Amino acid sequence: MTALITTKGREILASRLKGLLTEPVNIAWGTGVTPPALGDTGLEIEDVTGGYARFPGVSSIVTISTLNDTYQISGSLTALADLDITEWGLFDTAGNLLMREVQNPGYSLATGGTLNFLFKFQQSVCP
């Protein structure tokens, strides 16, 4: 499994610390298999057969190592067709890609199948 915070994602995180830009809570999935790259601006092959391009997840602050050290987004997407999902990502409301993850092989879903997503961004101390 390969996951990467994009160059734009780094800008989103820094801007959010300044109270700028919108919260990155929109989840998308797709069928691309190319590994993520820093310059990615979207999913390789975003799937919209479910009637939606991106679905808002729910954000929260949770504790992993120290009190309130992790930003978390959770949500579920349901397939309205048979799908092989191999990539997913997280976007802000302006459509900027925060992060993209690829897993090949991915998940084969029959119509009505659901994938539950849980994205976690843990803060760490920088030198």
Closest by Cα among 77, 100, 90 to 3: 100
pTM flag (> 0.95): no
Span 54-76, pLDDT tens digits: 899 999 999 888 888 889 999 99
d(CA 5, CA 40): 9
Q: Is the backbone of residue 62 left (phi > 0), alpha (psi -120 to 50) or beta?
A: beta
Span 16-40, pLDDT tens digits: 877 778 889 999 999 999 999 999 9
Residue with tokens 């479910």: 50
